[in-house]
Amino acid sequence: MRVTGEVEEFYALTELKNVSKVTVCSRGASVTPATLNLPFDSHTYLEQSLQNMADQTTCKHELEKANLIIEQKDKEMVYLKEMIEQKDKEIAYLKEMIELMKKQA
C-alpha cells in the first residue's frame, strides 16, 4: 500500500494524520517481513531499507524486460532456422534440377 499523509509524533508514537490518499499497489503479493529496531538513532537505516526495496523493484522490472527480450530473440531464432531449412530445401531442389538438365544435355 502507498499512503500519503503527514507523519507526527504523539506521546512517543509515530502516527499518520491528514491522510489524503491510500493506494493499493498490489493484491496477493507476498511480503518479506523485516525486523526493525525502533527508535532509529538516525533515519539512515530506514532510508537505506526504502532504497533497497526500490532497487529490488527496479531490478525485478529490468529482469522482466530482459526475459521478454530473450523470448522475442528466441522466437526470431526459431523463425530464422525455419527460413534456413526452407532455403536448404530450395538449394537441394535446384541441385537436382541441374543434375537432370546435365543428363538431358
Supply φ then ψ for residue 30, to 5 degrees: -85, 150
φ/ψ (deg, to 5) at 43? -85, 0
Beta pairing partners, 6: 17
Looking at residue 41, its pLDDT comes to 64
Confidence (pLDDT) at 60: 78
Rounded Cα distance, 73 and 7, in Å = 48
CA angle, 45 then 23 then 13, to 5°: 45
Mean pLDDT score across all residues of the chain: 82
Among the residue ranges 11-25, 31-45, 79-93, the one predicted with the least confidence is 31-45
Q: Is the pLDDT of residue 44 over 80?
A: no
Q: Is the pTM of this model over 0.95?
A: no
CB atoms closer than 10 angstroms to residue 75: 10
